[in-house]
Amino acid sequence: MKVDLHTHTNASDGALTPEALVGLARESGVTLLSVTDHDTAAGCLRAQKAAKEAGIAFIPGVELSVRWGGTVLHVVGLGIDPEDPVVVERFRETARLRAERGVKMGEAFERIGLAGAYEGALARADSPQTLSRTHFAAWLLETGVVKNQQQAFDRYLREGGPAYVEAPWPSLEEGVRFLLDRGALPVLAHPGRYRLRPGWEADAMVDAFVAAGGRGIEVTSGSQSEEANVRYAQVARDRKLLASTGSDWHSDRSPRPRPGCQPPLPADLTPVWTLFGYA
């Protein structure tokens, strides 16, 4: 079984439509897939239909942005119901916040002498409501302001960077509670990717996630280092967390592995998908 429980479509900041993402996953040999767009499940129904036609098992998902102290964390919710009216209404509100932030980011770029950022980012997004920092990065890259996507984040878009605008995301506790209340399984996304000091600060993050009701953790992720994969395999063992894995694929603009091509989970861990009835 080749599993990828963390991918993006153009319902958020991925480059491909849900159908095209499923097509790429099939080409890559994925047999169990989840689509986990940022703060929306809007691509899941189309992806689910395409996955069924392609003979790929599918778990609907979402990647929630939450605040933990001064850090933005991502929590994947596996098994979210994209048609649940409470889910739909909440993500509609988050989309409104995203649209507002996009305008403010455009203004921040203008203040540092980069005009046309908002229009440029919007031209690369599906709608103002899905505008992500990734779309601004694509504009910076394609207009030659930066040489690669990493430079776009390092110079402009990183937390605290000159074009960064804080978004009013929910707290870690409230986000995890929301997922549990809607019957979804909260999984801490790419734990090795946050700017936290290894050791106590990273431990405190896992403590807070578990205390909030978190159940799973991404042990191997296409968006964290091999060293982090090893470290969080041990965290999953020590804390008896369910282990998840995902490429976090968005587009070929980033050097991340293609769907399903992130390193596999160590065999001794309990995979999160056993809870969804997959062996």
- For 145, residues 6+ apart whose C-beta sits below 8 A from its C-beta are 114, 152
According to the binding rule CB under 6 A, does residue 46 interact with ligand AMP?
no
Task: Choose the binding region for ligand AMP from 148-156, 175-183, 228-236, 264-272 (rule: CB under 6 A).
Answer: 148-156
Query: What residues from 69 to 128 belong to the interface with ligand AMP (CB under 6 A)?
Result: none
Residue keyed to tokens 């509100």: 93
**Considering the complex, what minimum distance in angstroms separates the CB of residue 94 from ligand AMP?**
10
Do 271 and 242 touch, CB atoms closer than 8 A? yes
- For 192, residues 6+ apart whose C-beta sits below 8 A from its C-beta are 221, 224, 225, 227, 228, 229, 231, 232
By CB under 6 A, name the one of 5, 26, 34, 38 that touches ligand AMP.
38
| Backbone phi, psi, residue 26, to 5° | -65, -45
**Considering the complex, what minimum distance in angstroms separates the CB of residue 258 from Mn ion?**
14
By CB under 6 A, name the one of 68, 153, 249, 273 that touches ligand AMP.
153
Rounded distance between C-alpha atoms, residue 79 and residue 63, angstroms? 12
Rounded distance between C-alpha atoms, residue 133 and residue 103, angstroms? 12
Rounded distance between C-alpha atoms, residue 262 and residue 221, angstroms? 6
Q: Which of the choices ligand AMP, Mn ion, none does residue 4 contact, using the CB cut-off of 5 to 8 A by kind?
A: none
Task: Choose the binding region for Mn ion from 66-74, 97-105, 154-162, 173-181 (rule: CB under 5 A).
Answer: 66-74
Q: Which of the choices ligand AMP, Mn ion, none does residue 37 contact, using the CB cut-off of 5 to 8 A by kind?
A: none
Query: What residues from 160 to 189 belong to the interface with Mn ion (CB under 5 A)?
Result: 189
By CB under 6 A, name the one of 28, 151, 254, 270 that touches ligand AMP.
254
Do 190 and 174 touch, CB atoms closer than 8 A? no
By CB under 5 A, name the one of 4, 13, 37, 126 that touches Mn ion.
13
**Considering the complex, what minimum distance in angstroms separates the CB of residue 74 from Mn ion?**
4
Tokens of 202: 């990273």
Task: Choose the binding region for ligand AMP from 25-33, 78-86, 111-119, 147-155 (rule: CB under 6 A).
Answer: 147-155
In the complex with ligand AMP, the residue whose CB is nearer, 68 or 271, is 68
Tokens of 39: 């703060």
Rounded distance between C-alpha atoms, residue 249 and residue 222, angstroms? 7
According to the binding rule CB under 6 A, does residue 6 interact with ligand AMP?
no
Residue keyed to tokens 């986000």: 175
Which pairing describes strands 216-221 and 185-188: parallel, antiparallel, or unpaired?
parallel
Residues that bind Mn ion (CB under 5 A): 13, 63, 74, 189, 248
Q: Which residues bind ligand AMP (CB under 6 A)?
A: 13, 38, 65, 132-134, 149-150, 153, 250, 254
